[in-house]
Amino acid sequence: MSTGYVYHPIYLKHNTGAHPERSERLIAILDLLKKRNVLDRLVKINAERASIKEIEYNHDPAYIKHVQAVSEREGALDLDTPVSKDSFDAALYAAGGLIGAVDQVISKNVTNAFALVRPPGHHAEYAKGMGFCLFNNVAIAARHLKLHHGLQRILIIDWDVHHGNGTEHSFYDDPSVLYFSIHQYPHYPGTGRIDDIGSGEGEGFTVNVPLPPGVGDKGYLEVMNEVLLPIATEFNPEFILISSGSDLHKLDPLGGMNVTSPAFGKFTDIVREIGDGVVVTLEGGYDLTGLSESVLAIFGSLAGIEVDTGEMALDRSERDVADVISNVKKVQRSYWNI
Ligand SMILES: [Zn+2]
């Protein structure tokens, strides 16, 4: 059993200025992995530059040119999403890094992997960058799994505190990609209602679990055990991608979910019960301690290494999730045995 990680120094050159999504995030993660002697036990996966054709798997060619042009002159894709000279290249290497991780897992060179990339991707739409995201890395990787490896059942689990609108829209009518999101609601970007379940052939292959703030470790574990596990097990994925934000961490300035660092390890344990072939990609997470500790906890689970990130807080929950779970089940019962 071996666990890979993706990293490339160009990820630090996506310069966002005074912005929560900044290069120090990756530096803090790598520093902690080194300090805890975990990095040495992982297999380094080289990130290659994704080709324009690969980005076109999921994005409008005119939008790709737009990102390149704005990046060259330094500007912003929207109010939240500044880009610098190297941002276009960094974004190509972020998507390429995730493709590389997927390929290494498919070819069984590693058991699983975590792509430590930036810019993040899950808010990026077909023809629009937003919410700190340029290209939708996880959606591009899912399309690569379909087109290049012929997979027909891919599960994307998105536990970033924000709903992954871009990823959901990419596969809204596609039954080969099950998009499962747990997110704070109402919150940015405003999407991810329980009733949004996919359309056409993809009806029932989008599962949204919008949670009130403050549900803590306990609420997340209940959702994973009572909704994610049964649906995902029935779907029987050939490959699992995790859009892992750490902005549900209790220290995060942009989220209010009150989740502890070790809970991220537990979440990963639960996902590994669903099946083999797991690649995690970094989305949000803006408190450097919360981010690096939660990523460490995820690596601990992926690699089967004991890591001390403190204790979960299973008795503390400001809000109950029973109503949300019951409403999700009511809607999804037409498609799944839950
Ligand atoms: Zn987020």
Q: pLDDT confidence of 66, banded at 50, 70, 90?
A: very high
* CA dist list (Å): 238 to 149, 276, 318: 11, 8, 36
In angstroms, rounded to a whole number, what is the distance separating the alpha carbons of residues 65 and 157? Answer: 29
pLDDT tens profile 178-234: 999 999 999 999 999 999 999 999 999 999 999 999 999 999 999 999 999 999 999
Ligand 1 midpoint to CA 245 (Å): 6
pLDDT for residue 320: 85
| pLDDT higher than 90, residue 144 | yes
pLDDT for residue 316: 65
Tokens of 239: 């490959």
Ligand 1 midpoint to CA 254 (Å): 8
Can you tell me the mean pLDDT for 159-176? 98
CATH number of 3-332: 3.40.800.20
Ligand 1 midpoint to CA 161 (Å): 5
Whether 5 and 271 have beta carbons less than 8 Å apart is answered as no
Residues 6+ apart with CB under 8 A from 35: none
For residue 167, the SS3 value is helix
Ligand 1 midpoint to CA 281 (Å): 12
Handedness of CA 62, 67, 178, 326 (dihedral sign): negative
* Residue whose tokens read 């409403």: 327
Q: pLDDT confidence of 272, banded at 50, 70, 90?
A: very high
Query: What are the helix (H) ranges across the chain?
Result: 24-35, 52-55, 61-73, 87-106, 137-147, 165-170, 216-223, 229-235, 261-274, 288-303, 322-332
Ligand 1 midpoint to CA 42 (Å): 26
Of the residues 8, 14, 59, 123, only one is catalytic, namely 123
pLDDT for residue 318: 67
Tokens of 62: 């005119």
Ligand 1 midpoint to CA 256 (Å): 11
Q: pLDDT confidence of 315, banded at 50, 70, 90?
A: confident
Q: Of 249 and 317, which is predicted with more confidence?
A: 249
Whether 164 and 298 have beta carbons less than 8 Å apart is answered as no
Can you tell me the mean pLDDT for 97-102? 98
Can you tell me the mean pLDDT for 84-102? 98
Average pLDDT, the chain: 97
* Count of other CB atoms within 10 angstroms of residue 53: 8
Ligand 1 midpoint to CA 150 (Å): 30
| pLDDT higher than 80, residue 319 | no
Tokens of 75: 């500007």
Q: pLDDT confidence of 295, banded at 50, 70, 90?
A: very high
Per-residue DSSP letter, 134: S
pLDDT for residue 163: 98
The angle at the Cα of 94, spanning 149 to 36, to the nearest 5 degrees, equals 105
Ligand 1 midpoint to CA 166 (Å): 12
Residues 6+ apart with CB under 8 A from 30: 7, 39, 116
Tokens of 145: 């799994």
- Alpha-carbon torsion, ordered 283, 289, 292, 298, to 10 deg: -90
What percentage of the chain carries pLDDT values higher than 70? 99
Domain ranges of the chain: 3-332
Q: pLDDT confidence of 317, banded at 50, 70, 90?
A: low
* Active-site annotation holds for 123: yes
In angstroms, rounded to a whole number, what is the distance separating the alpha carbons of residues 332 and 338? Answer: 8
Ligand 1 midpoint to CA 145 (Å): 24
pLDDT tens profile 232-259: 999 999 999 999 999 999 999 999 999 9
Beta pairing, strands 82-83 & 75-76? antiparallel
